[in-house]
């Protein structure tokens, strides 16, 4: 067996985003009822249709049961013990970044996401979300020249209500599932992207989600619409401070791609995972779904999931348009007592639709990592194809990996291919690399990155480098 | 000629080495000294402990040294990590080279070469400089450039794996190379390529230990000494003609040596 202690040391990760920003916040009281929802909507000065949307969702949620089918074990969440709105206090109207609290700018600076004009990242536009609100969005004017709308969803509600009313909840209906219903009732902020017809978004768009307070949940909502023949690459990053309590994060992401449009959505999720005894950490219950509405449209999800105490997440594609394409590339790394139940759903509705699933799960420590995926071929999905590959890697002998592939085909003239494998980093492999002068830590990290190569190749350049570093960091520690 | 060799300091000294795995004794007092420029062959039946000896010298974590010392360039290395031994110039050519899926051979060779270069206070090579170096070394083992873009040893034939080992040896320029049954599974042509590669890499400053069952590798690379191992001990040491005699008479012949002991 691989030397257990050595592996333990190596996979011990120092979480460098665990700081708390000391800032005055406006919080509403704990608990959830219709008054709270009205209050959130009022604070955000929302139109009536949105309040109705929220209330309808809330009433549905009250009748729903928390799902228990995932291979996850956790203490029951007390939904009345959560604060549903928390925002850093700042001036009513902010006209420029100069008016943003320097503490907030500093926070994002520390996270490697500088927002100010002088320091901002040059090749990517960023929407920075702090607890329940969006702080700033960079490159807005430049994007506007191309007709691209990139702003917080709260702003979109004010300035582009028609688009919100038309599309919100059309991919993930409020009653879709327990957590989506909760989000629909209380969502506070998130990002909105609109790419007009024929436009290739001139730069990558990115949202950075930061949870700061320990007792408030984060319920962001993202909506991306790509009109005919447009394309966009969107990146999402997440971190949170270290608290010894669990924080609930229940997000909804909806993507809509029309004829010949393409959306690439990449996530690096590094929420606080709890300590090595499983105390604290984010409960991450997320519904992400894309609708390939148009012919030859394409939606591609890539995710690197390394954080959270619990991850419950199945970025999916509804393939309606003829010849539309759905992709899912995932790396999920769990360590210590982390639990992940993640995968995808590829729902083939239109003819000649194609989907690819590549999932790489790495479990270390005492963690539990499950892939759960559904591939469905509807009656009209003639000539459609799916290819799935699900690989698991175990580090040490206390971790577990599961694969739950569900396949439903109502269309004989379609193809579904599924491959799965499980491997363990063997002592012989480690010794081989070490006997060539490669340090133990680097040897483990080389093998893990090698294992994830197929997925990393799908990430945008800057993200791929970050993901590689993040995994290496997760696997870094003092050896011996 | 031998007397001049002995004036140099030995590269490797194995002194009365005993070792076990899972409390099972495998080596029972092995002594072996290799001077610069020397080629030693170790022969013996399967399970006699010759592969174990090579792994222990390279630092395999599954074995415990219960007695004795391993010295490399005069320093005791009993407690060094495998990577430290490799960086300082000990090379083990594996009998069964390990497959590492997803890790490109080129990247592996580069990281490993740089680890050795760093130890030698030589400049580490970037991708481009390394490509130049590796191209030159590929010639030695007549390997195709395409091998570099594949995963380490994955899907390689037996012969390709062994050539990849010799390629690593060429890049790492070890002080001592222990080649564990590098000849097994090779056809005549591949054996010649591997043998000529080994000869080109070795010089008057390096030592080589060939672990083998067969005379045919020793026809290509003539050893200075031949050691016969049995039950965790070296039971006889001779010159190259010992291997020929062994080939003729078989290992049964060596059983008598134990009785003599």
ipTM (interface predicted TM): 0.94
Q: Helix or strand or coil: residue B255?
A: helix
Give the chain A residue nearest B61 (alpha carbons): A431
Closest by Cβ to A437, choosing from B61, B86, B94 = B86
- Tell me, rounded to whole angstroms, the distance of Cα B7 from its chain centroid: 24
Cα separation, A437 vs A304, whole angstroms: 29
The values of phi and psi at residue A387, to 5°, are -130, 125
How much of chain A exceeds pLDDT 90, in percent? Answer: 47
Beta strands, E only, A204-297: 204-210, 221-226, 231-239, 246-249, 252-257, 262-269, 281-292
How far away is chain A from the Cα of B167, in angstroms, using its nearest Cα?
Answer: 12
Nearest Cα neighbor of A212 from A254, A193, A240 is A240
Return the residue of B nearest to A1 by Cα.
B62
What distance in Å separates residue A152's CA from the closest CA in chain B? 40
Nearest chain A residue to B116 by CA distance is A437
Give me the residue from B82, B86, B100 closest to A450, CB to CB: B100
Summarize pLDDT for A247-294 with one digit per residue, the tens: 888 999 999 999 999 999 998 888 787 877 778 888 899 999 999 999
State the average pLDDT over residues B244-257: 81
- What does the block give as tokens for B208? 């080589």
The whole-angstrom separation of Cα A172 and Cα A318 is 11
Number of CB atoms found within 10 A of residue A409's CB: 18
Q: Looking at A127-136, A197-206, A468-477, B134-143, which range is the least confident one?
A: A468-477
In angstroms, the separation between the Cα of residue B15 and the nearest Cα of chain A is 22
CB-closest option in B59, B87, B98 to A429: B98
Q: Please indicate if any CB of chain A lies within 8 Å of the CB of B2.
A: no
Could you tell me which chain B residue has the CA closest to the CA of A451? B102
From the CB of residue A247, how many other CB atoms can be counted at a distance below 10 Å? Answer: 25
Q: According to the model, what pLDDT value does residue A3 have?
A: 43
Residue A395, SS3? coil
For testing the chain B interface, which of A435, A438, A454, A471 should be mutated: the one with the most B CBs within 10 Å?
A435
Which residues pair with residue B226 across a beta bridge? B41, B238
User: Is residue A134 a contact partner of residue A128, using CB atoms and an 8 Å limit?
Assistant: yes
| Partner residues linked to A232 by β-bridges | A263
Domain boundaries, chain A: 17-433
Backbone angles phi, psi at A382, to 5 degrees: -65, 145
Helices (H) and strands (E) in chain B, counts: 10, 12
Question: pLDDT digits over A327-385, tens only?
Answer: 999 999 888 888 999 999 999 999 999 999 999 998 888 889 999 999 999 999 999 99
């Amino acid at each position: 067996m691989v030397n257990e202690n050595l592996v333990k040391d190596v996979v011990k990760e120092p979480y460098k985003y665990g700081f708390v920003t000391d800032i005055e916040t406006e919080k509403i009281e704990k608990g959830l009822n219709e008054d709270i929802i009205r209050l959130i909507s009022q604070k955000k000065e929302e139109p009536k249709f949105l309040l109705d949307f929220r209330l309808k969702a809330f009433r549905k949620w009250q009748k729903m049961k928390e799902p228990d089918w995932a291979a996850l074990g956790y203490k029951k969440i007390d939904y009345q013990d959560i604060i549903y709105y928390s925002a850093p206090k700042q001036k009513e109207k902010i006209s420029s970044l100069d008016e943003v609290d320097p503490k907030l700018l500093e926070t994002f600076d520390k996270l490697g996401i500088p927002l100010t004009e002088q320091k901002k990242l040059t090749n990517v536009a960023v929407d920075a979300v702090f607890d329940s609100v969006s702080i700033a969005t960079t490159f807005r004017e430049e994007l506007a020249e191309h007709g691209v709308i990139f702003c917080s969803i709260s702003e979109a509600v004010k300035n582009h209500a028609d688009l919100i009313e038309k599309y919100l909840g059309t991919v993930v209906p409020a009653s879709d599932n327990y957590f989506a219903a909760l989000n629909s009732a209380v969502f506070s902020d998130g990002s909105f992207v609109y790419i007009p017809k024929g436009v290739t978004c001139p730069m990558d768009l990115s949202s950075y989600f930061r949870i700061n307070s320990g007792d408030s949940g984060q319920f962001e909502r993202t909506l991306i619409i790509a009109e005919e023949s447009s394309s966009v690459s969107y990146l999402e990053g997440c971190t949170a401070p270290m608290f010894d309590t669990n924080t609930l994060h229940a997000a909804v992401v909806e993507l809509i791609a029309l004829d010949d449009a393409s959306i690439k959505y990449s996530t690096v999720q590094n929420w606080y995972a709890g300590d090595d005894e499983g105390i604290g950490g984010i409960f991450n219950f997320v519904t992400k779904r894309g609708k390939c509405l148009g012919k030859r449209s394409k939606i591609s999800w890539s995710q690197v999931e390394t954080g959270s105490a619990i991850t419950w997440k199945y970025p999916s594609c509804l393939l309606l348009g003829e010849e539309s394409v759905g992709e899912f590339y995932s790396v999920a790394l769990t360590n210590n007592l982390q639990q992940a139940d993640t995968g995808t759903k590829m729902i083939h509705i239109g003819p000649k639709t194609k989907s690819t699933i590549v999932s790489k799960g790495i479990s270390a420590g005492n963690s539990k990592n499950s892939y759960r995926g559904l591939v469905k071929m509807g009656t009209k999905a003639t000539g459609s194809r799916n290819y799935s590959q699900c690989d698991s890697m175990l580090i040490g002998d206390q971790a577990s990996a599961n694969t739950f592939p569900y396949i439903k085909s109502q269309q004989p003239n379609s193809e579904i291919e599924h491959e799965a494998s499980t491997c363990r980093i063997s002592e012989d492999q480690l010794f081989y690399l070490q006997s060539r002068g490669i340090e133990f830590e680097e040897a483990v990290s080389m093998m893990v990155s090698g294992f994830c190569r197929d997925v990393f190749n799908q990430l945008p350049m800057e993200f791929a480098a970050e993901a590689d570093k993040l995994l290496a960091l997760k696997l870094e520690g003092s050896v011996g | 000629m031998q007397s001049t060799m002995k004036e140099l300091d030995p590269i490797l000294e194995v002194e009365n080495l005993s070792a076990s795995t899972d409390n099972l004794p495998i080596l029972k007092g092995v002594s072996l000294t290799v001077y610069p420029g020397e080629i030693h062959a170790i022969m013996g039946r399967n399970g006699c402990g010759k592969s174990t000896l090579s792994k222990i010298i390279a630092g395999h974590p599954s074995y415990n040294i219960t007695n004795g010392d391993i010295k490399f360039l005069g320093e005791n290395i009993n407690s060094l990590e495998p990577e430290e031994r490799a960086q300082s110039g000990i090379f083990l050519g594996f009998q069964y080279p390990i497959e590492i899926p997803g890790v490109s051979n080129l990247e592996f060779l580069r990281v490993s070469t740089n680890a050795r270069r760093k130890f030698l206070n030589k400049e580490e090579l970037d991708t481009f400089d390394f490509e130049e170096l590796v191209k030159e070394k590929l010639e030695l083992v007549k390997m195709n450039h395409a091998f570099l873009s594949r995963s380490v040893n994955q899907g390689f034939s037996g012969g390709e794996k062994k050539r990849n080992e010799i390629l690593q040896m060429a890049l790492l320029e070890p002080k001592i190379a222990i080649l564990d049954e590098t000849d097994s599974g090779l056809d005549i042509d591949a054996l010649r390529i591997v043998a000529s590669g080994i000869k080109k890499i070795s010089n008057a400053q390096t030592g080589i230990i060939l672990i083998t069952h067969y005379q045919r590798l020793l026809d290509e690379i003539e050893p200075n000494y031949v050691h016969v191992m049995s039950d965790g001990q070296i039971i006889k040491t001779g010159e190259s003609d010992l291997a020929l005699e062994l080939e003729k008479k078989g290992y049964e012949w060596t059983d008598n040596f134990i009785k003599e002991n």
